């Protein structure tokens, strides 16, 4: 990805925008101990931008999670499937104009640049230094300041931190969990991309550790917002992922639905006695899998290192369930990308 915007100035206030609260039904599965909080969809410049109330209350920062509608990109896909994809939703997504913010094979660079310009204008951040990454599903976090080479060229990694005004940190997702952190005392922020590999390697905790080292951040002063990502309801993973999580997290069984214990023990072959299945050749049962809750896992990772549970917030939205509002690589395969952004005014 490329960087945009050159001047380091305090961004203008966003133009008057309509706001509507939007509650996520899936939130209560990932956050059984937390009272659901309605996130806000701000309508600005023809776009809908999702905001976390806990971050929106902090006047010294700007943040937002992009959504699907309102862009210049034309996406045609017949990949919608599954019981949660209604006929109405399928029709709405065919040949639709969408806000794709990632440089993908199916979209033109011109459209993506126009979409990004529109998104940053809607956020009121077009005059900030926009810093992105070449994401590699790692646990690498970079510090950014005005003299950093990252301002000029995107580096490999999956998290960014800064304490400098005028810099907007951005990560890209289409099912993975975007995590935004804000240190309310020292006015430092972070943007994190956490898929199953990043979650397995505790990228959220390591990014917070980097903030502690660089800025003196204390976990108890941090607010965390976990944006839209694929939910436990839709995210089936193979036995190798179950085994890896079982090896690293004592509480991993709480984050999975399905035969977690048998998969963790290596009992993952449903065809170990093929003659008992009574199936003709080529019709054996599929390999066993389990559904992973990335939101619950990242919430636990953050609270384990000292972030108060009451300061960890999730949108609760499943990108695979809500492809009317978000992009989902798992559900669609050919699809766009969203951005999660945070910066200091």
Give residue 274's pLDDT.
56
Q: Do 149 and 204 contact (CB within 8 A), yes or no?
A: no
Residue 92 is predicted with a pLDDT of 43
Residues ≥6 apart with Cβ < 8 Å to 324: 68, 89, 92, 93
97: three-class secondary structure by DSSP = strand
What mean pLDDT, rounded, does the chain reach?
86
Q: What is the mean pLDDT of residues 161-181?
A: 98
Per-residue pLDDT tens over the stretch 134-159: 999 999 999 999 888 777 889 999 99
- Which of the four pLDDT bands, split at 50, 70 and 90, describes residue 318? very high
Q: Is the dihedral of CA 111, 116, 121, 123 positive or negative?
A: positive
Is it the case that residue 16 has pLDDT exceeding 70?
no
- The predicted structure's pLDDT at residue 25: 52
Q: For a pLDDT cut of 90, what percent of the chain falls above it? A: 73
The stretch 296-309 carries a mean pLDDT of 98
Can you give the pLDDT at residue 247? 97
The three-state secondary structure class of 50 is strand
Q: Please indicate whether residue 197 or residue 266 has the higher confidence score (pLDDT).
A: 197
Output phi, psi for 259, to 5 deg: -75, 65
Higher pLDDT, 230 or 287: 230
Whether 334 shows a pLDDT value over 60: the answer reads yes
Least confident of 37-51, 74-88, 249-263: 74-88
- How many whole angstroms from its chain centre is CA 339? 8
Please state, in angstroms and as integers, the Cα–Cα distance from residue 110 to each residue in 100, 117, 133, 250, following that order: 11, 11, 20, 47
DSSP string, 287-333: PP-EEE-HHHHHHHHHHHTT--GGGEEE---BTTT-TTTS--HHHHS
At residue 280, does pLDDT exceed 90? no
Q: Is 104 left (phi over 0), alpha (psi -120 to 50) or beta?
A: beta
Average pLDDT, integer, range 216-231: 98
For residue 174, how many other CB atoms are within 10 A of its CB? 23
Q: Which pLDDT does position 136 carry in this prediction?
A: 98
Which has the minimum average pLDDT: 52-66, 80-94, 192-206, 282-296?
A: 80-94
Q: How confident is the model at residue 272 (pLDDT cuts 50, 70, 90)?
A: low
pLDDT greater than 50 at residue 11: no
pLDDT digits (tens, 9 = 90+) for 172-202: 999 999 999 999 999 999 999 999 999 999 9
Q: DSSP string spanning 210-274?
A: HHHHHH---GGGEEEEE--B--TTT-EE-HHHHHHHHHH-TTGGGGEESSHHHHHTT---TTSSH
User: Rounded distance, CA 279 to CA 309, Å?
Assistant: 49
Q: Strand, coil or helix: what is 146?
A: coil
Query: Can you tell me the distance from the alpha carbon of 241 to that of 263, in angstroms, rounded to the nearest whole number?
Result: 9
Closest residue by Cα to residue 32 from 193, 192, 227, 255: 255
Tens-digit pLDDT profile for residues 21-59: 665 554 444 444 444 568 999 999 899 999 999 999 999
Q: What band does 236 get if pLDDT is binned at 50, 70 and 90?
A: very high
DSSP state at residue 155: E
Mean pLDDT of 4-10: 43
Which two three-digit tokens encode residue 17? 């925008």
23-32, 117-126, 148-157, 277-286, range with the lowest pLDDT = 23-32
The pLDDT assigned to 273 comes to 54
CB atoms within 10 A of CB 248: 12
Q: Which structure tokens are listed for 326?
A: 């978000």
Q: What is the pLDDT of residue 15?
A: 41
Contact 291, 257 (CB under 8 A): yes
pLDDT at 66 over 70: yes
Most confident of 20-24, 80-84, 125-129, 282-286: 125-129
pTM of the model: 0.85
List the domains of the chain with CATH numbers. Answer: 20-235+308-344 (3.60.140.10), 237-290 (no CATH)
């Amino acid at each position: 990805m490329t960087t945009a915007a050159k001047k380091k100035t305090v961004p203008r206030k966003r133009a008057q925008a309509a706001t509507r609260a939007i509650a996520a039904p899936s939130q209560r599965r990932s956050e059984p101990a937390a009272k659901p909080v309605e996130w806000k969809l701000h309508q600005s410049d023809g776009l809908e931008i999702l905001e976390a109330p806990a971050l929106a209350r902090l006047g010294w920062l700007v943040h937002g999670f992009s959504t699907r509608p309102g862009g210049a990109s034309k996406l045609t896909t017949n990949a919608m499937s599954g019981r949660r994809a209604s006929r109405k939703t399928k029709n709405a997504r065919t040949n639709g104009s969408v806000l794709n913010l990632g440089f993908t094979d199916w979209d033109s660079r011109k459209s993506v640049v126009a979409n990004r310009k529109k998104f940053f204008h809607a956020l009121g951040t077009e005059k900030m230094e926009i810093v992105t990454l070449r994401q590699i599903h790692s646990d690498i976090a970079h510090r950014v300041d005005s003299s950093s080479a990252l301002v000029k060229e995107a580096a490999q990694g999956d998290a960014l931190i800064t304490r400098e005004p005028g810099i907007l940190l951005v990560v890209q997702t289409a099912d993975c969990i975007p995590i935004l952190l804000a240190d309310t005392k020292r006015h430092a922020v972070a943007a994190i991309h956490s898929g199953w590999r990043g979650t397995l390697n505790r990228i959220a905790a390591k990014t917070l550790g980097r903030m502690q080292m660089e800025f003196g951040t204390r976990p108890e002063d941090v607010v965390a917002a976990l944006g839209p990502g694929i939910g436990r309801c839709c995210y089936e993973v193979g036995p190798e992922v179950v085994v890896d999580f079982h090896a690293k997290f004592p509480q991993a069984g709480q984050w999975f639905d399905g035969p977690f214990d048998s998969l963790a023990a290596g009992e993952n072959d449903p065809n170990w006695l093929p003659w008992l299945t009574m199936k003709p050749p080529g019709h054996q049962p599929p390999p066993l899998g389990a559904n992973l809750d990335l939101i619950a896992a990242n919430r636990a990772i953050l609270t384990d290192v000292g972030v108060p549970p009451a300061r960890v917030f999730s949108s609760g939205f499943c990108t695979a369930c809500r492809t009317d509002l978000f992009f989902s690589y798992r559900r669609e395969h050919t699809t766009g990308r969203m951005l999660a952004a945070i910066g200091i005014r």
